[in-house]
Amino acid sequence: MRVVVTGAAGQLGQDVVLELVRKNHEVIGTDRTKLDITNELNVLAFISEVKPDVILHCAAYTNVDAAEENEKLAYQINASGTEYLAKAAAQIGAKMLYVSTDYVFDGSASEPYEVEQQTKPIGAYGRTKLAGEELLQRNLKEFFIVRTAWVFGIHGNNFVKTMIRLGAERGEVGVVHDQVGSPTYTVDLATFMVELMETDKYGIYHATNSGVCSWYEFAVEIFKQASLKVIVNPLTSDQFPRPAARPNYSVLSKKKITEQGLTPLRDWKEALAAYLEEATDKN
């Protein structure tokens, strides 16, 4: 298939491109220099010229804290950009997959969020990503939405890299223990996205690695697997104030993946081990 990947230079986008190449798809990767997704005419012209079979939409404004101050810009990228791509996909009959987030929920649940559960974002980032979901659905009858969480990969800045750097520098770190979720390795998410786009099993999916942990437990496991002796102090969210509120509970139910006969993502501890091996190989 001929596939356009937006955000192809990003943490997830780079692994999506690699997976598409591995599976012999024709890839057209775009970043903001090649395609400004906030410009409707540019988007319509680019997509109608390239005529992809699929658009994998990984580009996003992902700085959760900065989005509180820059909600208008976050909306242009996360919502309007998605709308323009959906319109372009509709015009040429292309499939489209949009990567969304656990932040569309408020985090007040105590059981994993199902795909059809009521959304209720508590911050600007979640609001703009949810608006992208809604605009996509308004413009396309058939679509893929993949909500994910706690993403880490070799190509970007993320929690794993930060912990290893801080642990090595300080020997002691403080990490919140009252926010719970499931880490997601970009390689595994990319594999799932490409598997999904090759089907006609449309709809909303939740895709993270399996298993559940707090950020504190995630940090402890990172240091254990990286063989670093670091003291990890559990903090409450109140002790670590941030401009944007985070959902306390971000666990997403992956039931739909198995129901549709698709391949579930492996346990997050296995994924972390694979990531650390990849990171060692790259250095």
Q: Which of 50-54, 156-160, 256-260, 262-266 has the lowest mean pLDDT?
A: 156-160
Q: Would you state the pLDDT for residue 273?
A: 98
Round to whole Å and give the CA distance between 92 and 70.
33
Pairing of strands 151-152, 184-185: parallel
Please report which confidence band the pLDDT of residue 281 belongs to, taking 50, 70 and 90 as the band edges: confident
Mean pLDDT of 8-33: 97
Please report which confidence band the pLDDT of residue 70 belongs to, taking 50, 70 and 90 as the band edges: very high
Q: Would you state the pLDDT for residue 72?
A: 97
Q: Would you state the pLDDT for residue 242?
A: 85
Instruction: Output the average pLDDT for the chain.
Output: 96
Q: Would you state the pLDDT for residue 243?
A: 85
Q: Would you state the pLDDT for residue 283?
A: 61
The full set of domains in the chain, from first to last, is 2-158+184-209+251-265 (3.40.50.720)
Is 125 in the active site? yes
Round to whole Å and give the CA distance between 175 and 32.
34
Q: Which of 125, 205, 216, 275 is catalytic?
A: 125
Q: What is the pLDDT of residues 171-187, one digit of tens each?
A: 999 999 999 999 999 99
**pLDDT at residue 221 tops 70:** yes
Tokens of 185: 């390795």
Tokens of 145: 């939405």
Q: What is the pLDDT of residues 72-115, one digit of tens each?
A: 999 999 999 999 999 999 999 999 999 999 999 999 999 999 99
Q: Would you state the pLDDT for residue 85?
A: 98
Q: What is the pLDDT of residues 224-249, one digit of tens each?
A: 999 999 999 999 998 888 888 899 99
SS (H, E, C) the chain: CEEEEECCCCHHHHHHHHHHHHCCCEEEEECCCCCCCCCHHHHHHHHHHHCCCEEEECCCCCCHHHHHHCHHHHHHHHHHHHHHHHHHHHHHCCEEEEEEEHHHCCCCCCCCECCCCCCCCCCHHHHHHHHHHHHHHHHCCCCEEEEECCEECCCCCCHHHHHHHHHHHHCEEEEECCCEECCEEHHHHHHHHHHHHCCCCCEEEECCCECCEEHHHHHHHHHHHCCCCCEEEEECHHHCCCCCCCCCECCECCHHHHHCCCCCCCEHHHHHHHHHHHHHHHC
pTM, two decimals, is 0.97
**pLDDT at residue 140 tops 80:** yes
